[in-house]
């Protein structure tokens, strides 16, 4: 998810996406621990998406 797309989301959509992507990250990590996943770089990508979402949400909180 690109930063341009993240900026267009509302605060509620950001919170929902953070929960959704966080759950996705946990699921990927568990499946990788049990048996190696095909593309382990996906863990890093999902982690970065979560960070982008949290950063945008925090930026909006501070600008109020």
Tens-level pLDDT at each residue, the chain (64 residues): 888 999 999 999 999 999 999 999 999 999 999 999 999 999 999 999 999 999 999 999 999 8
Tokens of 30: 């568990």
- The number of domains in the chain is 1
| Residue listed under structure tokens 């095909």 | 38
* Residue 24 CB coordination number (10 Å): 14
pTM: 0.90
Question: Which residue range is the domain that position 51 belongs to?
Answer: 3-63
Q: Is the Cβ–Cβ distance between 8 and 26 less than 8 Å? A: no
The CATH number covering residue 56 comes to 1.10.287
């Amino acid at each position: 998810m690109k930063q341009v797309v993240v900026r267009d989301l509302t605060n509620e959509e950001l919170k929902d996406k953070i929960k959704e992507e966080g759950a996705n990250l946990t699921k990927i990590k568990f499946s990788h621990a049990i048996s190696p996943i095909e593309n382990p770089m996906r863990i890093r990508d999902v982690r970065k998406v979560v960070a982008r979402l949290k950063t945008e949400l925090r930026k909006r909180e501070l600008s109020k």
